[in-house]
Each structure stands twice: as C-alpha cells, then as structure tokens.
Amino acid sequence: MIAVNDRSTTSRNHPSIWDKEHFSITIGSILAFTIIAFQGLALATIAPVLAEDIGGRNLYGWIFSAFLLPQIVGTVYAGREVDRHSPARVFLIHLVFFTLGCIVAGAAPSISWLFLGRAIQGFGAGGIASCVYAVVSSAYEDKLRPAILAATSAAWVVPSLIGPAIAGFVAEQWSWRWAFFGLIPILLAIAPLTLPSYARIKPHNLTAKADRRLQLAIVLAIATGLFLAGLEIRPWIAGAAVAAMGLGGLITTLTRLLPEGTFTARPVMPAAILARGLGLGGFAVVETYLIFSLKDFGGVSATRVGLILTVTSILWTVGSWLQSRWDRATGPAHRPRRLATGFALVFAAALGIFLCVAILQEIWLWAGLVGWGIAGIGIGLAYPTAVSIAFVNAPAGMEGKVSSSMILIDLFAFSIGVGLGGVLLAFAESTGRSTELGAALAMSLGVAMLALAVVAGLRTRHLPVTSPSPSG
C-alpha cells in the first residue's frame, strides 16, 4: 500500500489522529485492538469454567493454542492480501471470521466445537491486527504514527482492568458462553467506523503475484503445534524429540517469512522487528514466572498479583504516551535511542527480579510492584517505537508484509519463550532442585532475550534524521 485520497488542506496543515480525516480510522482501530485484547483476557478467566462444563480439562492448554495456530496463518494471509487489495476488503473478511468464531465458540456443545470456534477466531484476529498495523503505516504520516501507536497501546488497558472481572461476573451470573456472544455487538460497531475510511486507501501492488507466504504460514503453524505438543509429551525424551522437530521447523520457516536479515539484526528495519519481538518475548517470560513466583513461594494472594498486572498495564500506557511526546519533540532521529532506552529499563527491572529470586530465593510484593512498574514504562517506550522505525523504513507497497512480520515474531518469541521457560521450571523440579531455582532458570531466559533486544535496538541507529515523505 498505499495512498489515501481527498486529504483536506486543514488536515495537511494541522494533522492529528483525531482530525476529521483520521477520526473514524482511529476509533475503529482502537476498538479492533480492544476486542482482541478483551477476548484473550476474558478467556483466561472463564477457561476453567468452560473446561469443566463441556469437558476438556486434559486438553486445557489447547483452548489457547487452538487460537494461536490459526492466528499465525491469518496474520500472514492478511499481510499478503492487504498489499494487493483494498484493506477494507481484507479487514471485512477477517472481521466476519472473528464474529463467526465467537458464535461457534459460544454455542459449542463440546470441547471439539470450542476448538473449532477458537480456531476461526484466531484466524480472524490475526488478520485484523495485521490489517490495522498496515493501515497505521499507510493512513498516518510518520509524525502521527507514535500518537496512534500510543492510542492503540491504551486499547489494552481497559480490557486488562475490567475484562477479567466482567467475564467472571458474566460466567457466574449467566454463562461463560456470553463472554463470546457479548463481543458480537462491538464487532458490528467496528465495521461502519473503519470500512468507509479503509476503502479510501489504495494498494500499490495491484499487479503483485501471490507468493508462497501462505503455504509457509501453514507450515509454521504446524511446526508451532508440534513444539507446543512436545512440551507436554512424557517421557521427556519423546517430548524433547517432538519439540525439537517443531522448533527446527519454526526457525527454518520464520527465516523465509521474515524480512531478510531479521535474525542477524541487520539495520534498520530488520533490527527494529527483531528488537520488538525479543523485547516482548522477554517481557512476557519474566512476567509469567514473576507471577508464578509471587503466588507459589512469595505468599502473595491472587488479588494482589492482579494489582501488579493492573499497575503494569497502566504504566505501559504511560510509557506509550511519553514516547509519543518524545517523538513530537525530537523527531525520528531520537527513535533508536528511545528504543534502546526502553528495553534497557525492562532489562534492568527483569535482571533485578531475577537476581532476587536466584540469589535470595525470595520475592516480595513491593519488588514486583516497583520492578515491574519500571518494566511497564520501558516496554511502553520501546514497543511502539520499534513499530515507527520499522514502518518508516519499509519499502513502498510492503506495509502489509512488514506488519505481519512484526506480529509473527511477537507470536514466535512469546510462545517459544514462555514454553521453554516452563520446560526449565519443570526440569528443575523433576531433578530435585528447588522451585525457586526453577523459576530463576525460567526468568534467565527472559533476561537473555531482553539483553539481545537492547543490542538489536542499538542496531537501528542508522535511521535517517529525516523520514521519507508519507506515502499517503
């Protein structure tokens, strides 16, 4: 993509994500991310209830994996198509899939039907996110992107604050099924807000031929499934063999799906994509096992653990707002510094928590609040900045591919990081080591990923001082 027609003179002179030209795209994009965030957080709350109701406690993890694997395919498919067709068409297709998935999952009479609904949802969600990111690259000029990225980051805060509570209340008072059905009115509201504006965005690559990215995405989903399944297989030797096979397929396929030079942090765009993926993955790993440690041997209640997550979500939004203000004041030239600074903050916080668990064999509520609060600000500074750097260096007509690449590496780093962390924890406990040591080993993986994210962030310093003129 992409060109936006009929821009007003007023918008050119005083552009804003809230002006007449961008208002409906901004609201629709925020709602799209909000609905994806809400369903994920809500499902985490109601999953034990629905597993008990329709069976499937022995397949509990696959309630989430059934969403993840088709999400990979939907992400790549939408990223390819949005460079060749109107984003309105691509967005509508995936919005319909997501809505259909909500209906099937909500009406599921058995766990197999729930898996089907979650799979349809995942395909739709992957495409929605990929499409929105491509539109952000195309419909907003470079100096507006930090602001719209801060706004979409804020879209995760409200669901994190009220999503689990609402889902739990609905499940207790009525049925867990309404956690799916209740999303449908919001999905119907998103369409009129986004589609007219998305229809004005024209793709550059109308004559581009389809490539093999979709087939590779399917292989990637299968490899991811093998990896996740291998982590659950016993005995360990058989599980390790299956997981290693899946991991090999993952890495091989990703090297062909991601921009060339991503895994070597080639400046500038590939390095920004790698930094974002490693940073988010490392953040997720440390957060996952911080929560585990607080509840398991830290003596912290679930309610207080939830307080840490809430504070972190709010501070993530604060960090996103700060990066927008910072960008407005200094321009593109300071983005690499902001990227490295943000991930350095997350790394420092994660290292402190890791050392606390590894050396002192203890973790406290205040350490989680302070440490992970700092991490929240850091990830808020770095995560949207990586997107801005990647988009300003994306070749014209490749916005969809770059968007899907960023989401893919996020999914890869998150699932592999958390999965391997679980293996390290289980290995420590099965060999007679303490739970504290196992949690520290799992966290060490996240700390290492964050260190590499800082290094990759520093590799974006070749970013030009003046950004290219907007394609719109």
Domains of the chain, residue spans: 9-210, 211-257, 261-464
Number of other CB atoms surrounding residue 8 within 10 Å:
10
Task: Give Rg (Cα) of the chain.
Answer: 21
Q: Where do we find the tokens 């949005």?
A: 82
Q: How far apart are CA 95 and CA 91, in angstroms?
A: 6
133 touches 163 (CB < 8 A): no
- The vertex-45 CA angle with 375 and 101, nearest 5°, equals 105
Q: How far apart are CA 320 and CA 154, in angstroms?
A: 8
Reply yes or no: is the peptide bond before residue 235 cis, omega within 30 of 0: yes
Q: Where do we find the tokens 């290219």?
A: 468
When the candidates are 3.40.50.720, 1.20.1250.20, 3.40.309.10, 1.10.3720.10, the CATH number that belongs to 9-210 is 1.20.1250.20
pLDDT on residue 431: 81
Which stretch of DSSP H or E encloses residue 326?
Answer: helix 302-330
Q: How far apart are CA 309 and CA 284, in angstroms?
A: 12
Q: Are the folds of 9-210 and 261-464 the same?
A: yes
Number of other CB atoms surrounding residue 108 within 10 Å:
20
Cβ neighbours for 455, distance < 8 A, ≥ 6 positions apart: 265
pLDDT on residue 420: 84
Cα 319 from chain centre:
17
Q: Where do we find the tokens 């805060």?
A: 157
Give the architecture (CATH level 2) of 261-464.
Up-down Bundle (1.20)
Q: How far apart are CA 468 and CA 472, in angstroms?
A: 11
Q: Is 348 exposed, middle or buried (0-12, 13-18, 19+ CB in 10 A)?
A: middle
419 touches 65 (CB < 8 A): no
405 touches 272 (CB < 8 A): no
pLDDT on residue 422: 82
pLDDT on residue 339: 95
168 touches 175 (CB < 8 A): no
If we measure between CA atoms, which residue out of 249, 267, 226 comes closest to residue 390? 267
By 3-state DSSP, what share of the chain in percent is helix, strand and coil, each rounded to 5? 80, 0, 20
Q: How far apart are CA 351 and CA 345, in angstroms?
A: 10
Return the DSSP state at 144.
G
If we measure between CA atoms, which residue out of 156, 165, 162 comes closest to residue 379? 156
Q: How far apart are CA 290 and CA 444, in angstroms?
A: 11
121 touches 2 (CB < 8 A): no
Strands (E), 59-184: none
Q: How far apart are CA 339 and CA 341, in angstroms?
A: 6
Q: Which two tokens stand for residue 274?
A: 């790698």
Q: Which phi and psi (to 5°) does residue 197 adopt? A: -70, -40
pLDDT on residue 210: 53
> How does pLDDT run along the chain (472 residues), one tens digit per residue?
544 444 444 445 568 888 888 888 888 888 888 888 888 777 766 777 787 788 766 666 677 778 888 998 999 888 888 888 888 899 999 999 999 999 999 999 888 899 999 999 999 999 998 898 888 888 888 888 998 988 887 777 777 777 666 777 777 788 888 888 888 888 888 888 788 888 887 776 544 555 688 888 899 889 988 888 888 787 878 888 998 899 889 889 988 889 999 999 999 999 999 999 999 999 999 998 898 888 888 888 767 777 787 888 889 989 999 999 999 888 888 999 999 999 999 999 999 999 999 998 899 989 889 999 999 999 999 999 999 999 888 877 677 788 888 988 988 888 888 888 888 887 887 788 888 899 999 999 999 999 999 999 999 986 444 444 333 3
Strands (E), 238-290: none
pLDDT on residue 56: 67
Q: Where do we find the tokens 């510094």?
A: 337
